[in-house]
Structure formats: C-alpha cells, structure tokens
Structure 1
Amino acid sequence: MKGWRRPRKWAVLGAAGLAVLLAGCGDVQQGAGQGRYLGLPEAASDRAPAMGQMYVGSWIAAFMVGALVLSILIYSLIRFRRRDPQEVPRQVRYNLPLEFVYTLVPIVIVCTLFFYTVKTQNLVQAKADSTKVHQIDVVGFKWSWAFNYMEQKNPAVGANVNAVGTIESPPTLVLPVNEPVRFNLYSPDVIHSFWVPAFYYKLDVIPGRSNSFDVTPTKVGTYAGKCAELCGTYHSAMLFNVNIVPVEQYNAYLKGLQAQGRTGTFYGPLQANPQLQKKEGN
C-alpha cells in the first residue's frame, strides 16, 4: 500500500484544483463584449456574449478533465511499470479515498456545468420591455421565410408590413441596431428552425405552437440566416440575409415596403395551421 500513498495525494490535489478551476469557468471572457469565441462567428447580439462564455467555459472544462486523466495515466504507466518480466504488480482493491475522489469529481463537474447552463439560459431567454420592443412575426414555410413587421403602433411607420421570400429569391430581414426585437415564430406546414449564427441562438418553428425570443442587435452589418432543421426536399434553400442598420434606416425600409403595397401580414397557407387562422381572425 505504500506505493499508493503518493498517487493518492496527487489525485486528491488534482481533483481539488479541477473543482476550483471549474467553479470559475463560467466567467471566462467576462466583459469581453462582442467578438469571436474559439471558431464561432463574430457576435452581433446582446445575448451572444453569455453563450460565448458558456461555450469557452465548456471547452476549458473538457480540456482540464482530459489533461487530468492523461496526467494520471502517464504517471501510472511510468511509476508502476513492470521492471521485472516475471513480476506481477500488486493488485490493490477497495481503496476508499481513491473511490471517493473518482466519484466526487464527476459530480462536481456535472453540477458546475449545470449551474452555468441554467444561468446562461436565463440570460439568453430573458424578455425585453414589451413597451419598447419591435415585434416581428417570422413564418417558416416550404421553402422560404416571411417576415411580418408589426409596426402599426410605430409612429414612424404606422402599419404592419411584410417581406416574403421564395426559393429563387431569399428574403432579407432588416433589424434596428441597439433596439430590442421580439421574434414570434410560426409554421403552417412542418418544423423549421430559425437560426442567425451571429446571434449564437436558434429556436424551432413548430406548427400549432408559437415560440418567441428577444434579442438586441448590437453591430451594424450583414449576416447570414438559415433553417437549422432538416425540413424536407428544399431545406438547403431556406436561407435569408440579416441587415442590422440604424433605426432611421430601418424605418425607411419599412416605409418602402408600405409604398410597394406590402402591408398587412403573411402567414402562408392558413388551412394547415388553425393557430394562424385564429391570429388572422378567420
């Protein structure tokens, strides 16, 4: 048993260090603002930093666990290697301290990751002030997108307007920078998924159910959007562009849609979704 005293001490110290480092992994990149996180696209929303920190923290935890396991493995291979071909290493069982350590460490890891996952989820799914938020009803249908800008109460626009895409002509979603937006998601046919990678967030678009989330765009520019759910034959064509612009340009774009006669709302074939029929007052 003497040969096990040293590795046991190292195992206990390693587990303690892992627990301490994991406890702080959720604050990685705190205050970093918008940027890139280990291969993720450049962030363009107020919810993206929290997701980026969770992503980086999870990778740090994974690297730490891998390094600890690899270190113990290498140490054991060197320290307890067979020096005499005829010698059989002593078999040690029922080592209570070691069993306690390799039971405790996974529990600490899982609980820590669970805590930061819930914390991040609450931040990302928090709702903005409903009196100040721009509402956009997003409709995913086979095989494109419709964006209904619910701006009837906006004095700069004064009407609900829409932009509808096709397979041949993907639509453009225009958003005001630094102002909260609420996306209400609908589908009249099959399950789609509304995804703007620069927001670090996506949400399913499910027939018969209204999903919603709030986000504040934070960086002017053009970004890609797509359907992240394999929804059928032309799933790959369900693309759209996202233009984040100053609020004056946003209002001017909506006035342009109004001038083109794109007033009202578009929800696709209503007969496929009773919920949308009700929303339209049919």
Structure 2
Amino acid sequence: MRLLERFVVRKDHRSTWAAVPVAMLLIAVLAGCSQQQLDGFMPGERGTTDKGDLMMTFWVNSWIILLVVGLITWGLLIWAAVVYRRRRNDTGLPKQMRYHQPMEVFFTVVPIILVAGFFAFTARDQAIVEQNFAADQASAVAGQEVRDVHIEVYGKQWAWDFNYLDVAGSPYDGGVYTQGIQAQEERDENDRLTGEIEYEKLPVLMLPVGANVTLDLKSRDVAHSFWVPDFHYKEDTIPGKTNQYSFVPEREGVYIGKCAELCGEYHSMMLFEVHVVSEAEYNEYIQSLRDAGNVGAVGDEGNRNDNLPGTEAPDFSEHDESK
C-alpha cells in the first residue's frame, strides 16, 4: 500500500513539473503574436471606422471557437485511433455497437448550439453594421454637431462614379460629381506595360474624418461589389437596386478599394482610392470640383441598361418606297 502511495505521489509530482514547460511555451507563443495575428490577419488597423472593429472582433472570436472545436475533434480522432487500434494478437472483428445514445445526443446538441450561436451573433452584428444614418438629420457626439455626408456610388465596367449630394448644413449647394476611369498601367521608356498601376489616375472617394457618411451603392451596368478591405466591409451594387451603407471614418489616410464581384474582362482593374481627410481638405476638394464645372450629379441617366434599344420592331413606314 505504501509503495502504491509513493508511486501515485511521484506520478502527480512529475505531471505537475511536466505541465510547467507546456504552460511557459503557451505563454511565450501568445506573447510573441503580432497585432496582426491577434486581429486574425484582418487587413487594416483597429479604429479605422466605427463599425470595422465590430466585424474584426466577430471574426477573431469565431476563429477561436472554431479552433477549440477543431482541437477537441482532432484530439478525439487521434485518441480513438491510438486506444482502439488493432493489436498484433487481435483476431476477428471488434465488438460492434448499434448506437451510443449519450454520444449521439452530444454530437447533435453541440452543433445545434454552435449554429444557433453563430446565427444570433451574426444577426446582431449585421443589424448594427447595416443601420443607416438619416441623411437629413444632424447628429451630435460629445456635444458637438457632426457633419452628414451623402454620396452616390456607381459601379460601372470598369471604374467608379461618385456624386457628392447636397445635405442640410453643407457649405456647398447642388452637389458635385466625379467620373472615374479604370486603372491604368504604367509604361516604360519603350512604351511597354510594366504591370504597375498609376495610382494617381484612380477614381478617388473623398471623405471627411469624423463625419456621418451614407453611401448609396448602385450599378450602371452589371453586378459589382464595393469593397474597402481596411473598412472590413463589402456590399454588392446591383442594377436597378440601391444598397446603403453608413459609417464614420475615424482615421485619416488613403485606403485602396476594389470590386469584389467578377464583372468582366477588366474586373481586376476596377480599383479606386478612399481618402479620409480633415474637413478643411474635404471642403477644398469639393470646391475644386465646383471650379472645374462638375456641378450637380450624373445619376441613373448614365446607366447603360437605361440606354439600350427596345424590343419593338422599328417603324419604317415613312421610308416605304412603294408609297
């Protein structure tokens, strides 16, 4: 009995010491993670927009839960393969079981809980992200009036148009617009394409930092998708339909945008830039468009699908030579 007690004590003692280096290794690995790794390798930084962090947190937490489920699943598979492997002296088939009710209940209930949980959190965060500002209603943060900005975004093969619409409290009247072209490749001294993009020629979406921005997302021809990776947001632009997205850009900088829906031969060249600037710079940009004569908006009248020929047969009665 004493020998057994010594063995048990010694075994527990060894297990404790074995757990110490494992814990230290785990701490070192977690401490060595970069901020990008802690953010689930999502593009951009936290604090870029008011809604981007919400989506990044949901992404990271989802991966943590899925990794835990994966580790448990892999562990059970390896354990079953090792413990119940066929031994050298085994003959015949192992004992067969028709079912194991507790295990079946476990494998049914746990997936239902996981799916229901993911659905609930997805619906909650999506409702927050899709909540739009009232375009004609001023907002206040910390006792200060926040500027409202309303912009129509048109996707087209293979570029972007932006209409800066007039809103209450705007320093300009009537709105202004820009019409973009698809990305252009640089050429070398022998006039050969280098594969590099001339970024200064990309369409630019200008936004004032800290403003309540509402985007009306539309298409002039086929289905596109408005995507700014650093904003952690993507929304389709569908012909004949308007999708809206409201957010607050919180960090000044230049962010690349692109089309995320295969839309034809030059889909990969359908790029644009988002410039988040101070309000003074934003006002100067709007004034520069007014000075250039880009006053008003190029709306649905510029859509390709609204300018196609009809299906009715043409009337040639006026050119009938028999008359």
Query: Do both proteins adopt the same fold according to a TM-score greater than 0.5, normalized to the shorter chain?
Result: yes
1:272 is aligned to 305
Does 2:277 match 1:250? no
Corresponding residue of 2:111:
106
Distance verdict in 2 for CA 1:39–1:186, change over 3 Å: same
Answering whether residue 275 of structure 2 is matched by residue 238 of structure 1, we say: no
Stretch of structure 1 that moved more, 110-119 or 79-88: 79-88
Please state if 1:48 is matched with 2:52: yes
- Please list every run of at least 4 consecutive aligned residues from structure 1 whose deviation after the TM superposition is greater than 6 angstroms: none
User: Equivalent residues in 2 for 1:108-127 (5 A)?
Assistant: 108-127=113-132
Query: In 1, Cα distance between the equivalents of 2:254 and 2:156?
Result: 23
Where 2:298 maps in the other structure, the secondary structure is coil
Aligned positions, number: 241
Aligned to 1:277: none
Name the aligned partner's letter for residue 46 of structure 1: D
Give CA deviations for 1:223-281 in whole Å, capped at 9, x if unaligned: 0011111111221221101110112211121011111111111236346239xxxxxxx
Q: Deviations over 1:70-116 (max 9, x none)?
A: 11112212322233232532222222111111111111111111111
What TM-score do the two structures reach when normalised by structure 2? 0.70
Task: Supply the distance in 2 between the matched residues of 1:232 and 1:125 (Cα, whole angstroms).
Answer: 28
- Which residue is equivalent to 1:28? none
2:209 to 172, 177, 182: 177
Give structure 1 stretches of 5+ with no counterpart. 1-33, 275-282
Tell me: CA distance 1:45–1:114, structure 2 relative to 1, closer, same or farther (3 Å). Answer: same
Larger Rg: 2
- TM-score norm. by structure 1 comes to 0.80
| 2:77 counterpart of 1:62 | no
How far apart in 1 are the matches of 2:210 and 2:282?
12
* Whole-Å separation in 1 of the counterparts to 2:270 and 2:278: 26
CA distance in 1, matches of 2:43, 2:71: 27
Please give the root-mean-square deviation of Cα atoms over the aligned residues, in Å: 2.1
- The structure 2 residue matched to 1:146, chosen from 137, 155, 161, is 161
Letter in 1 for 2:171: A
Distance 1:125 1:159, change over 3 A: same
SS of 1:273's partner is helix
Percent of aligned pairs with the same amino acid: 37
Of 99, 102, 113 in structure 2, the residue corresponding to residue 97 of structure 1 is 102
What amino acid maps onto 1:161 in structure 2?
A: V
* Pair 1:189–1:264, CA change in 2 (3 A): same
Amino acid at match of 2:305: A
**What residue identity is the alignment partner of 1:263?**
V
Distance apart, 1:198 and its partner CA: 1.1
Structure 1 residues 36 and 174, CA, compared in 2 at 3 Å: closer, same or farther? farther
Contact 2:176–2:286 (CA under 8 A) maintained in structure 1: yes
What is the deviation of 1:152? 5.5
1:190 is matched with 222
Distance in structure 1 (CA, Å) of the matches to 2:153 and 2:248: 16
Shift of 1:49: 1.1
Gaps of 5+ in 2: 1-35, 139-147, 185-200, 308-323
